Structure 1
Amino acid sequence: MSEIQKQVHPIDEMLPLSKLVSYGLQHVLAMYAGAVAVPIILANALGLSSQDLIRLINADLFACGIATLIQTLGVGPVGARIPMIQGVTFASVAPMIIIGSEHGMTAVYGAIIVAGLFTFLIAPYFSRLIRLFPPVVTGTIVTIIGISLMPVAVTWIAGVSPSDPNYASPTRMWLAGLTLVIVVLVNRFAKGFLGNLSVLMGLLGGTLIAYCLGEVHFAEVSQSEWVALVTPLAFGMPSFDVSSIIAMLVVMTVCMVETTGDAIAIGEIVDKKVDKKTLSSCLQADGLSTCIGGILNSFPYTAFAQNIGLIAVTNVKSRFVVATSGIILMVLGLFPKLAAVVASIPSPVLGGAGIAMFGMIIASGIRSLGKVEYDNNHNLMIVALSIGVAMIPIAVPQFYHNFSAAAKIIFKSGITFGSILAVVLNVVFNGLGQEDTKE
């Protein structure tokens, strides 16, 4: 029995229920703010009612859970079966607002369903590009992911607008700092199970401190319903507008590039090679989940990069932990009061934990790049230029403001443009590489 247990890869390790729930909840808390941001932005931009907003949030969380279960546990050949939590892609926000404004929500969901089907069908062919991702490219992409996410943590800490009187206030700074201190102390001194909960302990401890300071508000909890079922096609039967579909196809193509980078990043952290077959299954899961999202009044789904850092921090690699996160997300989607409780965590607290999580992604990328050979080749130029262009929208967010809406989808995402450039430069300097023949 012990010999069999030794052969089980850490990602296939089944942990006790208490650990699955604790670690799974930690993942949910880390990604929750990003998960609900898209429906909030979309509803506000389109002037939807508060009831419609609640419907969108519930559907989003429920579909997030389904998408995560498909990716981690698999459905037949679909699903990468790695610890990858799924969330709404922010690349879809601008196109959805434009489509919704011009053609209504039914056109939004029609475009999403078609784009999901497109992704599902094209995935086996797109996955053949895996040979274009040698270590110099994957290490660069992982580093870019961490760098690009760091402004998210900073925004959580300081606030969205400098015109806000509370922007970067001492209270927000203290909450973030104390949360980060708790994460570090638990990670340093706690052992075993508790040590792996360092981010969760930081979030809980930071929220408790914030509550004592009067910075936690539970008004939304009392106003939320106990139970709310997710109704398919609540906005009506989907309609299919050609221009809207094309815009969403562009979004999903970008998502496939990002998902490829995220999958490779997770593979690096959990020490499991992401080959052509795995990547195809991963991208097909994105496509299937996006189709389901369109039917359930939700959105396009892809890997949530924020949670990659949590895997690196905790070193908990089991995909069943993330699958448990999926179940928790589905429960939150059905019970709005529980979702409202999670939403009460102050953003500075999330930001403090985010500094640690996103920093670990950067560190993982640097570790991978440390294994790359730089003598008598052009690898240093590949890394330098790719990270350099990825930093542009971070340093100057309005740099691409004169670009078309379609171009902005690619260029304003440091992850997307930096990843594409890394692949292109590697082909220019090192050739196409060898095709992975493993099926």
Structure 2
Amino acid sequence: MSVKPTTRRRVHPVDEVLPVPKLAAYGFQHVVAFYAGAVLVPIIIGSAIGLTNEQLIHLINADLFTCGIASIIQSVGFWKVGVRLPLLQGVTFAGVSPVIAIAMANGGGTEGLLYVYGAVIVAGLVTFFMAPYFSKLLRFFPPVVTGTVITIIGVALLPVAVNDAVTNPATHEQDPSNGRWMAYAIGTLLIIVLIQRFFKGFMATIAVLLGLVIGSAVAFVLGDMNFDGTSEASWIGFTQPFLFGVPKFSVVAIISMIVVMLIIAVETTGSVYATGEIVGKRIKKDDIAATLRADGVATVIGGTFNSFPYTAFSENVGLVRLTGVRSRWVVATAGGIMILLGLLPKTAAVVASIPPPVLGGAALALFATVAVVGIQTLSKVDFTDHRNLIIVATSLGLAMLVTIQPTVSEGVPDWLEMLFGSGIVLGAVSAIVLNVLFFHVGNRGQAVAGGPSKGITLDKVNEMSAEDFAATFGGLVQGTPWVVERAYQQRPFADAHGLREAFQEALLAGTTEEQIELINSYPDLGSEDATGTLNAADHVGLSNLEEDEHENIVQLAAEYREHFGFPLVICARETERYDRVLANGWSRVENAPSAERSFAMIEIAKIANYRFDDLVADANPIAAARFGRINDFR
């Protein structure tokens, strides 16, 4: 009798439970990479709102404790809460400035924190219940909104770092005339930069932590750091819920924190997709909902245990890619370690002893990095659409107005005071509202044709008949029917970029016979009509040639046509100079016919691209005049 062999179900690397020593080692590595960013938030907030050293220690302990709980919830999960991926949770920097603004607007210190925790708890609940529906809200948070807000967060936080950089460690008062403090800040920043330059892998991921340690050690040796507060701190302790009192609630504070949570939700969504790609798991809508529910639960716990809003830490997403360790149980172990650290007030007291200038130097690097991430996000934005430019410029301008001159909030009505109390909140609300106004309300769509008197928007383009579409856009490709028809079939167009891409794709998808037909529709380079005018406006760069130079171009075009049987097509706007046009043309005569056909199609695509820019510019004359060229405003 044969025994059927048992088959073991293959476990995905994400769900693999590693041996305890490996779990501990890899988990501790996550904690080390995460630690500096985790403790910076409570230190910055505590210093800004005037907490005592003892209160700051409680804040650090509470932060680490709830970071651990949040990470376990996200990585292990229960019911429909937690994505069950190696995502480590931490307090978001996006909440720093709004939290400080809420606290200071309500008296500062522990009294102000009560309003912060009330807003945090409500915003966490809102996040939890909106999680299943968030995918429908994503269209209101395109890169132009998220990139603007992230950039504003980084730039608006830089003054906090600068203030720390010039603060006397003994008196905790700003003393910008003393170069000693600036030396600590710049020295710490330099250490971080050098570590990033000369080390790779894990060492590079803990550059900020090493910068803080080395900077603090130098300050200690020079007598500018002491550990007096550590002797009074207990070895083991627990930060009780609502330590500073029962939370208080302000409508404006709650709205501000909900806006922050919406921005965090967009960031978290990006982190989930990035992590899914790294570990090889397909991310579905239910996964996003589970992630945001975990963020909501963690944020409610944060408000209860004297901490702040939570999100996935991108540094640790990068560490997963770097190490190749995909097990979510490693992050769960890291969460357990953080809970233990949160129960050690002595450790928090040591962290609280970091001199402000050293902290300021590290914060300069961190906050500037946040701004760069925002700029990277904005690089995905189509700025040739002037609406996007207006959204970013207006939001950034308003944010800087409040950041540089915070007293402007005193001149607005009480119900607007909180909105104008934080550059980040004002900038975020501006970006969201303007995006809705420009892209989701009324007659949507940038004018893409039709001239200044009757701009034709994308909505109208999507409703056009094939004949109207050909009459409007056929000139991009010499009216060649097969190109126009294929571009028309790609409707509806989401934006001007989509319309441009439709023509580019149609151009390059033609058969050999179709491509030759299209190439033959273009006039010979340098040819003139009966009046002596160049046959194509695209050759305007060749209009000021001397007689002998023009003859050289004509001779080139004639020999090219004789060799290949179709006209020489060159995007003269891009080549610009006569000698380059001539050199380009003669070099192409040496090509094989099939290769040269491809070259010609690429040039035609370039010409169509420039013609499209001209078409949009003509339809938006004010923007075109203001910004010089179409690529600066769409």
TM-score (norm: length of structure 2):
0.54
Shift of 1:193: 2.2
Q: Which has the larger radius of gyration?
A: 2
Shift of 1:125: 3.9
C-alpha distance after superposition, 1:363-408 (max 9, x if no partner): 2222232232222542222221121112122211212123355533
Aligned-pair identity in percent equals 36
Please state if 1:188 is matched with 2:191: no
Provide the rounded CA distance (Å) in 2 between the counterparts of 1:106 and 1:146.
26
The residue aligned with 2:520 is none
Query: Which of 226, 233, 243 is matched with 2:235 structurally?
Result: 226
Query: Which of 16, 23, 39 is matched with 1:32 structurally?
Result: 39
Shift of 1:218: 0.4
The residue aligned with 1:437 is none
The residue aligned with 2:259 is 254
Shift of 1:422: 1.6
Query: Which of 131, 145, 161 is matched with 1:137 structurally?
Result: 145
Shift of 1:274: 9.4
Given that 1:159 and 1:168 are in contact with CA atoms closer than 8 Å, whether structure 2 keeps it comes out as: no
C-alpha distance after superposition, 1:173-222 (max 9, x if no partner): 11111111111111111132223322222111111111111111101111
The residue aligned with 2:506 is none
Provide the rounded CA distance (Å) in 1 between the counterparts of 2:81 and 2:136.
16
Provide the rounded CA distance (Å) in 2 between the counterparts of 1:77 and 1:26.
29
The residue aligned with 1:345 is 354
Shift of 1:333: 2.4
Provide the rounded CA distance (Å) in 2 between the counterparts of 1:288 and 1:112.
11
The one-letter amino acid paired with 2:162 is V
Shift of 1:337: 0.5
Counterparts of 1:317-332 in structure 2 under 5 Å? Answer: 326-332=335-341
Could you say what secondary structure the match of 1:85 adopts?
Answer: strand
C-alpha distance after superposition, 1:9-67 (max 9, x if no partner): 9xxx99975454244224222331422565677795xxxx9988766664454234323
The residue aligned with 2:73 is 70
Please state if 1:124 is matched with 2:152: no
Provide the rounded CA distance (Å) in 2 between the counterparts of 1:378 and 1:198.
39
Higher alpha-carbon deviation: 385-394 or 279-288: 279-288
The one-letter amino acid paired with 2:255 is V
Give the number of equivalent residue pairs. Answer: 417
Greater length-normalized contact order (CA 8 Å, ≥ 6 residues apart): 1
Given that 2:189 and 2:364 are in contact with CA atoms closer than 8 Å, whether structure 1 keeps it comes out as: yes
Counterparts of 1:71-110 in structure 2 under 5 Å? Answer: 71=74, 74-79=77-82, 82-86=87-91, 89-90=95-96, 91-92=98-99, 98=106
Seen in structure 2, the aligned counterparts of structure 1 residues 179 and 73 have a Cα distance that, compared at 3 Å, is farther
Higher alpha-carbon deviation: 376-385 or 211-220: 376-385
The one-letter amino acid paired with 2:262 is V
The one-letter amino acid paired with 1:32 is V
Given that 1:179 and 1:203 are in contact with CA atoms closer than 8 Å, whether structure 2 keeps it comes out as: yes
Provide the rounded CA distance (Å) in 2 between the counterparts of 1:100 and 1:394.
18
The residue aligned with 2:423 is 414
Seen in structure 2, the aligned counterparts of structure 1 residues 276 and 86 have a Cα distance that, compared at 3 Å, is farther
The residue aligned with 1:403 is 412
Provide the rounded CA distance (Å) in 2 between the counterparts of 1:414 and 1:200.
28
Please state if 1:288 is matched with 2:297: yes
Provide the rounded CA distance (Å) in 1 between the counterparts of 2:363 and 2:316.
9
The one-letter amino acid paired with 2:165 is I
Please state if 1:370 is matched with 2:379: yes
Provide the rounded CA distance (Å) in 1 between the counterparts of 2:422 and 2:283.
23
Higher alpha-carbon deviation: 73-82 or 340-349: 73-82
Unpaired runs of 5+ in structure 1? 435-439
Given that 1:130 and 1:276 are in contact with CA atoms closer than 8 Å, whether structure 2 keeps it comes out as: no
TM-score (norm: length of structure 1):
0.75
Provide the rounded CA distance (Å) in 1 between the counterparts of 2:287 and 2:418.
26
Given that 2:163 and 2:174 are in contact with CA atoms closer than 8 Å, whether structure 1 keeps it comes out as: no
Higher alpha-carbon deviation: 201-210 or 13-22: 13-22
C-alpha distance after superposition, 1:121-180 (max 9, x if no partner): 244345531111222222222222221221222122123999936346212111111111
Provide the rounded CA distance (Å) in 2 between the counterparts of 1:99 and 1:281.
37
Provide the rounded CA distance (Å) in 2 between the counterparts of 1:316 and 1:160.
38
C-alpha distance after superposition, 1:299-347 (max 9, x if no partner): 452449xx66897899869896876664454223211101111222222
Q: CA RMSD in A?
A: 4.6
Provide the rounded CA distance (Å) in 2 between the counterparts of 1:100 and 1:397.
15
